[in-house]
Amino acid sequence: MVRTKSIITVSLSPTWDITCNGQNLDWGQHEIIDEQTIRPAGKALNVSTALAWMGQKSVAAGLWGRDDYEQMLSSMRPLNGHIKIKMTPADGNTRRNITVVDTNKGREMHLRDRSRLASVKALKKLRDDFGALIHKGNICVFAGTMPDGELLDGVIGILEFCKSRGAKIVLDTSGPSLKKMVHTGLVWLIKPNVEELCDLLDEKIKDGPVSLVRAGRELLDKVGVILVSRGGKGSVVVTEKAAWQGRSLRRAKVFSTVGCGDYLLAGFLKGLMDTSDFADALVIATKVATAKAWGWTENKTWPETDQRIKVKINRI
């Protein structure tokens, strides 16, 4: 069992997620949408939101724009019982991302803005704030886009501080940042998708359980646990002692794939806190990610979802 005082999610490139749902949307038209939602998000905050849906408390840390900080606090107020906000204000506004979902045709478009909150000044203040926040037994989830160059070195310095305090580091990012941070040896768990795993190892990997496990084992000298997201095919977990694959036994219409990987990670961490078995944790992770894809996290409870979604776990 993973014994932890708290899960702390850390976002360096948070966002306002604006999702527009409509039917038969097309280019060049003035369309009426059915629904629009605006919420504080980003991969790290998504993990905290997923944990809250499961009834698990967490701390949301990292950076948020000073100019819209109060607006974020107001939006997060309904989850105050489960998410403690410990964001560090940074100069400027938080970026806005737009997702357009055609619910009839089952397709999506994602419009992503660049994050400009990270700076030498902001990262130094974040590191100072972590002095009172990070303790032995914490799980620190660094998720989302990471800055590059000198700023990435600053982030790695924050990882070193968290590790020195006895915290376990979870990493969910991509690109050169993922490779550099993994090679520090500071990270306990990573959650790449298949493409990100290929980039991390600089090789083409077949999207099959055996191939993914073989590839994951190449990283076990640097990382303790590899959770590979395979989208609709499920996921694979690789540890030093064993490996497993998990998938949902039931098929249903996918409402949206946005955030499914974040919910997979949240479910896995919740499972590790509650059980003594990686396979059991993968069961929970698969159910949570499936519920997110089907839109159940919007209108069903976690206990109801836990009962209704059946998954299959195989040791590889």
Query: For each of the chain's 316 residues, which pLDDT tens digit applies?
Result: 455 569 999 999 999 989 888 998 888 888 888 888 899 999 999 999 999 999 999 999 999 999 999 999 999 999 988 999 999 999 999 999 898 888 888 788 888 888 899 999 999 999 999 999 999 999 999 999 999 889 999 999 999 999 999 999 999 999 999 999 999 999 999 999 999 999 999 999 999 999 999 999 999 999 999 999 999 899 999 999 999 999 998 888 887 787 899 999 999 999 999 987 899 999 999 999 999 999 999 999 999 999 999 999 999 9
When divided into structural domains, the chain yields a total of 1
186 by Cβ neighbours in 10 Å (0-12 / 13-18 / 19+) ranks as middle
- Establish if 306 belongs to a structural domain: yes
Say how far residue 155 (Cα) sits from the centre of its chain: 17
CATH of the domain at 223: 3.40.1190.20
Do the domain assignments include residue 128?
A: yes
Contacts of 292 (CB under 8 A, 6+ apart): 50, 259, 260, 263
Examine residue 258 and state whether it is found in any structural domain, yes or no. Answer: yes
| CA 235 and chain centroid, separation | 14
Does 155 map to a domain? yes
Residue 132 forms part of a structural domain: yes
Q: Are 14 and 119 in contact (CB under 8 A)?
A: no
Examine residue 110 and state whether it is found in any structural domain, yes or no: no
With respect to residue 232, please indicate whether it lies within any of the assigned structural domains: yes
> Closest Cα to residue 12, out of 105, 122, 86?
122
Q: What is the β-pairing status of strands 83-90 and 58-65?
A: parallel
The answer for residues whose C-beta is within 8 angstroms of residue 52's C-beta and 6 or more apart is: 58, 79, 82, 83
pTM for this one? Answer: 0.90
Q: Which domain holds residue 175?
A: 7-14+42-94+115-315
Domain membership flag for residue 165: yes
